Structure 1
Amino acid sequence: MSKTTGFRRRYGASPLHLLLVLASFALAAYAGVRLLDGDTLGVALWFVGAALLHDLVLLPLYAVTDRAAQRLFGRREGGVGQAPPRPGVNHVRVPLFVSGLLLLVWWPLVLRQVGHYTAATGLPADRFLGHWLLITAALFVASAAILLARRWHESGPRRRAARGRRRARGATK
């Protein structure tokens, strides 16, 4: 038995995986030290506020939105227990998540809440809302196109069977 195989059996992954995990921990520790170097109390309050905002406001909002999307797309008829949601729900979840993530990262510029941006960069800050809306629309259009292509591909056997039945009926007449 080689050393790598024994390591993989004991650790559960390759040595490269362990090296990458340790490097990511080192990078996170460095970022944490740099972040807490200035205003430790302010950073701690920001983290607590973000956690409370997420848990008390955003998480219930996510859950209600997801339930609404599941009801919109319906559920499969299943046997025992609740049937899993249709895959179409994910074609709403993914673009909504990416759009929300983009808004989270760029919200000051999207909502035009930065006065110093134009002075610091020389670029106008009024384009971000339109660009974010266009990206969001493009994400939903791409997701809808993928959903339609999947549905078309899934219906292929049914279409071929119906075509075969029509040909068989035509041959018997």
Structure 2
Amino acid sequence: MVERASRFRTAYGAGPAHLLVLLACFTLTGWVALRLSGEADAIRMLLWFLGAVVAHDLVLFPVYATMDRGLRRFAHRPAVVNHIRVPALASALLFLVYLPGILGLGGSTHTSATGREPTPLVGRWLVLSALFFALGAITYLVRRRRGPSAGDRTRR
């Protein structure tokens, strides 16, 4: 049994649990695709999804990988990196999700869908981003004041 699992891991590249999770994800994705196939906007959604994949792989990933490499080079302490990386990720995700509202786009669509005038979100996004970074800085300072953790001691 152990030999069979070892051969499977060697051939597949990961354990059986990984394969099961992937199969579950593909099943869920297929179900959603079938549910959306009857929608009038299915082609637009598919094109948007493919555009998002291309934009991420060709534009966003190189940008944030380069920024992360620069951050790791700039921050001499490894503990600092995650206290900047996590707030930056949260801020970037909020920006992507609320991009039209932050940039003031899609006002007529928002009004027709909700019956309300859109409120500018750029101020709220900036405040939330500042709070994310402030929380990251406070967390870093608290951890630094406590002293090195067990993980920091093993890295030395």
Q: TM-score, normalised by structure 1?
A: 0.62
1:56 is matched with: 58
Distance 1:105-1:119 versus aligned 2 partners, 3 A rule? same
Q: Where in structure 1 are there 5+ consecutive unaligned residues?
A: 1-10, 13-17, 76-85, 156-173
SS of the residue aligned with 2:101? helix
Instruction: Tell me the residue number matched to 2:35.
Output: 34
Alignment counterpart, residue 134 of structure 1, candidates 121, 127, 134: 127
Shift of 1:42: 3.3
Offset, 1:101: 0.9
Q: Which runs of 5+ in 2 are unaligned?
A: 1-15, 149-156
Q: CA deviation at 1:147?
A: 0.2
Contact 1:103–1:132 (8 Å) recurs in 2: yes
Identity over the aligned pairs, expressed in percent? 39
Cα distance in 2, alignment partners of residues 122 and 41 from structure 1 = 27
- Report the residue type matching 1:31 in the other structure: V
**Judging changes above 3 Å, is the alpha-carbon distance between structure 1 residues 44 and 123 closer, same or farther for their aligned structure 2 residues?**
closer
Provide the residue aligned with 2:140 in structure 1: 147
- Greater Rg, structure 1 or structure 2? 1
Q: Which residue number in structure 2 is paired with residue 87 of structure 1? A: 79
Matched residue, 2:91: 99
Cα offset for 1:120? 3.9
Number of positions where the alignment pairs a residue of Structure 1 with one of Structure 2: 130
Amino acid at match of 1:74: H
3-state SS, counterpart of residue 113 of structure 1? coil
> What is the Cα deviation at residue 103 of structure 1?
1.1
Tell me the CA shift for residue 49 of structure 1.
2.0
Q: Distance in 2 between matches of 1:27 and 1:103?
A: 27
User: Structure 1's 135 and 52: CA in aligned 2 closer, same or farther, altered over 3 A?
Assistant: same
- Give the Cα–Cα distance (whole angstroms) in 1 for the partners of residues 83 and 69 of structure 2: 14
How far is 1:72 from its partner? 1.7
CA positional deviation for 1:26: 6.3
